Amino acid sequence: MTNIVELGQYRHQELPRETQKNYAFALEYAPQVTDQEIEDDVVSYLAEYRLKIPEYAYGLDFSSQDGVWGVRDSYRGESMQEKTQKALDVRIQNGQSTYREEAELEAFKKLDTALRFAKEGDTLVWGSPPGDSNEGYGDYGFIYHGKIQERDGGKKELKMTAIRVDKAKIDEYNAFFSQVTGLDVGLTKAEDFIANPIVARREFEDFEMKSLLKENFAGLGSGNQENLKEILYQLRPAIRDLIAHVRFSPQEVRQKALYALENMALELKNRMEQKIVTIPKKIRLDDIIDEYGFEPPIERGSCGSTGSSSDIFGMTLRDDEHGGRTFECPTCHLTNIRPEGELLRACQHCGSDKVAC
C-alpha cells in the first residue's frame, strides 16, 4: 500500500508501528478493527509479498456519513481520506518520507468529488509506480481498475482489481494512461500517478483492460493465479490463528507466528512450482510455529521492506523529554508507543489506566 492504500493492499492499522523489523505489515491493531479486516490484511500481505499473486480483488464504497460523501472502506465505513491521513501521521512520527501518502491523500480528495457524478458502468483507473528503492520499495507497481455500480440514495460500490506490474517503468504508465484517457499523458514521478486517479465515463470490459495492459506493460505479474489462490485457501486456518496472536499474544510471539505463516506460504509456493502434490490440507500455526518461526527472506514491496536492511526500517524511536516512548501495558501486554512530546492517559489497545504517564 503505499500504506493503508496501495489501493488493493489494505493496511488497517490505526496505531504507530512497534519498533519491529517488518515495515510492510504491522502486528498491532486498534481494538475496533474487526477480525475480518485483520484477516484481509494478512491475505493481501501474503498475496503481494510472499506469493506475488498477479491480480487481487477488493471492494470500496462511496457513501455519506453525517452528510459527508466520500470513498470509504467496506467494513466500518471509515473515510479513506481519514485512513490515509493516519498512515501519513504514523510515517511522520517514525521519521519516514510521506510524499506517497500525501499524493494518496490528494487522490482521495479528488475521488470524493469525481464519484459524486460517476454513473453505473463508469471505470476507475489508478496507477501506482514503484517507490524509491533507497526507502525499501520493490521494483514493481500496480494498476488498479474498478467498475462503478450505483446503489440507492446516491451510494456506489467500487469493484476493484489490483494488477501487479513487475519492473514497472514510468514510460509504460504514461503510454497506458494515454490510451485510457485519449490524452497525451507525460508524468515524470510515481507520486504524480498516485495523486491523479481517472474516472472514465465509459465501461472497460475485462478483456479490453487486459489487452491494454499487455500492450503497454512488459512485466505483467506472472504465476498461476488459481494455484496461488489455492495456497491462501489452505492457509486460512493458520491465518485465523494469527489473528488470535495479534489480539492476545506478546509481541515476540506475534512476530514468530507471522514468520511461520510467511515461511509456510513460501514453502507451499515452492511445492506447487516443483509440482509436489503432497500439500497439507489443513495448516494450523501451533503445528508449524516452532519449525517455521525463523525470519524469512527480506522482501521489498509497495509498503517498504519486510526487513531491517537500512536504518530507516530497523530504527528505534528516539527518546523525548519524557523518556522512552515504547512500553508494554501490564494489563493486555501489548506494546504502546507514545507520540513524540506527548503522554498517554490509557493503553492504546485495552484502555487500561495502568499505563498512564
Cell 515452492: give the residue: 270
AA letter at 195: A
- Is 288 a residue whose pLDDT tops 70? yes
Higher pLDDT, 57 or 221: 57
177: confidence class by pLDDT, cuts 50, 70, 90: very high
HSE-CB at 190 with a 13 A cutoff on CA atoms is 23
274: confidence class by pLDDT, cuts 50, 70, 90: confident
pLDDT at site 240: 94
Q: Mean pLDDT throughout 282-296?
A: 91
Complete edge-to-edge strand list for the sheet that includes strand 123-128: 68-73, 55-65, 156-166, 140-150, 123-128, 198-200
Q: Mean pLDDT throughout 312-335?
A: 60
- Is 198 a residue whose pLDDT tops 50? yes
Q: Which range (24-33, 139-148, 159-168) has the least confidence?
A: 24-33
- Is 115 a residue whose pLDDT tops 80? yes
- Is 100 a residue whose pLDDT tops 80? yes
The pLDDT tens digits for 244-256 are 998 888 888 989 9
pLDDT at site 341: 72
**Distance (Å, whole) CA 176 – CA 168:** 12
Helix H or strand E encompassing 296: none
Our CA dihedral for 66, 68, 73, 76, rounded to 10 degrees, sits at: -10
Closest by Cα among 215, 198, 175 to 122: 198
- Is 311 a residue whose pLDDT tops 70? no
**Distance (Å, whole) CA 346 – CA 344:** 6
Higher pLDDT, 258 or 325: 258
| Strands 140-150, 123-128: pairing kind | antiparallel
Closest by Cα among 171, 109, 179 to 145: 179
| Residue 252 three-state SS | helix
pLDDT at site 312: 24
pLDDT at site 26: 66
**Distance (Å, whole) CA 46 – CA 209:** 25
Higher pLDDT, 10 or 238: 238
User: According to the per-residue pLDDT averaged within each range, which of 127-136, 164-173, 322-331 is highest?
Assistant: 164-173
- Is 308 a residue whose pLDDT tops 50? no
Per-residue cell: 164: 501487479
pLDDT at site 24: 61
20: confidence class by pLDDT, cuts 50, 70, 90: very low
- Is 309 a residue whose pLDDT tops 50? no
> How much is the mean pLDDT over the chain?
82
- Is 14 a residue whose pLDDT tops 60? no
**Radius of gyration from C-alpha coordinates of the chain:** 21
The pLDDT tens digits for 67-94 are 999 999 988 888 999 989 888 887 787 7
- Is 21 a residue whose pLDDT tops 80? no
The pLDDT tens digits for 325-351 are 667 778 866 666 666 677 878 876 677
pLDDT at site 279: 59
Tell me the whole-structure pTM to 2 decimals: 0.76
